[in-house]
Structure 1
Amino acid sequence: MTFAPEWLALREEADAQARAGELVDPLRKIVVNRTPVLIRDLGCGTGSMGRWLSGRLPGPQHWVLHDRDPRLLALAGATVTGPGVTVETREGDLTALRADDLAGTSLVTASALLDLLTEDEVGALAAACAGAGCPALLTLSVIGRVELDPPDPLDAAFTEAFNAHQRRTEHGRALLGPDAVPAAVAAFQDLGMAVSTRPSPWRLGPGQAELTERWLRGWVGAACEQEPDLLPEAEDYLRRRLDGELRAVVHHQDLLALP
């Protein structure tokens, strides 16, 4: 799955505000003792995680940005910058990483990635991190909860259909969607890692009108793709929602796994 740079740019501020900054605190004590600090960002997109996290960690850092999309890698490589920050890009299948590939890595990061993986892929990521003795900070995973204000009678139907879409089987891969965080917690803990989770909700409203509309249209579109019976209701539902001052809380969770 690939994402348009315009969408990633539009959501970056909401992502930054949502991420659980308190999970960074334990990392500062760990990575400061690992010189040089080597961070691998999986599914880096345009580099929003690097721009958010690099200034929150101490000392010189070398970021290795992994993604399948060369367009996104080019943008990320040019914009993850800062004092003492160096960058390289790696194009390829991030699900193929193993413990040997993470040798010398101080930290693995990812944003909005876990819910796009299968149970086996999450297990392999946990095994790679545990085998390399490498912490992992995995942020902004959807958990299947959306709060919409004002409420609408069709909210529950669209939520259920969207969550089913997130759990779909695609090209033979059964995606975890909202089940990703519990699966990741279990996978890391089974390998002896200490796991903490924190909420990281998007809070959308009139102040983020463009993002709110883009998110809502995408959310409804995915729901209708999964449940075509909702299509006759979709246009009126969107009109009702977008004609008013819709506020939405889109719930996510962040996860920190420590050796």
Structure 2
Amino acid sequence: MTVEETLPFADWLRLREPADAAARAEDLVDAVRPRLAGGDPIVIHDLGSGTGSMSRWLAARLTGPQHWVLHDRDADLLARAADGMAGVTAADGAPVTVDTRCGDLTRLSAADLSDGALVTASALLDMLTAEEVERVVAACVDAGRPALFAVSVTGRVRLTPPDPLDAIVEEAFNAHQRRTVDGRRLLGPDAADATAAAFARRGVPVRERPSPWRLGPEQADLAAEWFRGWLDAGCEHRPELTGATRAYAQRRLADAAAGRLGVLVEHRDLLAGG
């Protein structure tokens, strides 16, 4: 690592959950809610569930009985997600039940989603390739289900106070997000645009909303951890930045610890077919 060791992934997901919850576009939930009436229970498929952040957030904003099907390729994360849903109820107190399915979510078919009223995901799209996005979109469209995809990175960040190195690290980080892994070229910050375009080609309207993280003194731990990961990824893509950003990292982390660092990380939420 170029700065300090970053958190294990499950701990990172837990740390970022409040910021994701604050960022998501509530009006898109209002827009899709009429499409969910009439089911008993409503079945919702959540893709790339991680530790269950999206299901916990949305379940409490919907009324009536719900059954969530959580999809991820990491069995340990799915177990944590299921445990984290214990005791979660709908907005009107109706029960919420959970099922988990471990596997490649990009290979889901329309038949896999056909029992659902809604497909959701959060902070997922940037980790997919263009081909994988096409498959996910096709499955949603062929199943005739609306999709709510939240908190997709755009690649744009703003740190305060500003520093000349911010833009250099941002560019390197975004290039890292578009890297090729095991033959898969990730979309990174291009993912939200690619997903919206894939739905549009199939004649499905898409509503988009900004969903930025706004981190201040109250989120100092998250701001510091985000910064470490952001800088490490940039330096991994451009190793020559490692030495050039050492003092920069120390300044930024000192600012975070003192509550002086402000971080704006832009995301977008998409509602397709709602």
Give the TM-score of the pair, scaled to structure 2. Answer: 0.91
Structure 2 counterpart of 1:179: 190
Once the 2 structures are TM-superposed, how far is the Cα of residue 36 of structure 1 from its aligned partner?
2.8
Amino acid at match of 2:171: E
| Partners of 1:28 and 1:58 within 8 A in 2 | no
Amino acid at match of 1:204: L
Q: Is 1:72 aligned to 2:77, yes or no? A: yes
SS at match of 1:228: coil
SS at match of 2:115: coil
Structure 1 counterpart of 2:265: 250
Whole-Å separation in 1 of the counterparts to 2:9 and 2:252: 24
2:207 is aligned, of 193, 196, 201, to 196
Structure 2 counterpart of 1:37: 42
2:25 is aligned, of 20, 23, 33, to 20
- Structure 2, unaligned runs of 5 or more: 1-7
Whole-Å separation in 2 of the counterparts to 1:103 and 1:185: 21
Structure 2 counterpart of 1:114: 125
1:36/1:13 CA distance change after superposition, 3 Å: same
Instruction: Give the 5 Å matches for 1:75-154.
Output: 75-80=80-85, 81-82=88-89, 83-154=94-165
Q: State the percentage of identical aligned residues.
A: 58
SS at match of 2:60: helix
Give the root-mean-square deviation of aligned CA atoms: 1.1
Amino acid at match of 2:42: V
Once the 2 structures are TM-superposed, how far is the Cα of residue 4 of structure 1 from its aligned partner?
1.8
Could you list the per-position Cα deviations for residues 29-49 of structure 1 after superposition, in whole angstroms to 9, with x for gaps in the alignment? 000133431101111011111
Could you list the per-position Cα deviations for residues 74-116 of structure 1 after superposition, in whole angstroms to 9, with x for gaps in the alignment? 1111122323101011111111101111112111100100011
Query: How many residues end up aligned between the 2 structures?
Result: 257
SS at match of 1:26: helix
SS at match of 2:49: coil
Amino acid at match of 1:93: D
Could you list the per-position Cα deviations for residues 152-186 of structure 1 after superposition, in whole angstroms to 9, with x for gaps in the alignment? 01111100000000111111011101101110011
Q: Is 1:7 aligned to 2:12, yes or no? A: yes
Structure 1 counterpart of 2:174: 163
Give the TM-score of the pair, scaled to structure 1. Answer: 0.97
Whole-Å separation in 2 of the counterparts to 1:232 and 1:97: 44
Whole-Å separation in 2 of the counterparts to 1:238 and 1:208: 18
- Structure 1, unaligned runs of 5 or more: none
| Partners of 1:32 and 1:58 within 8 A in 2 | no
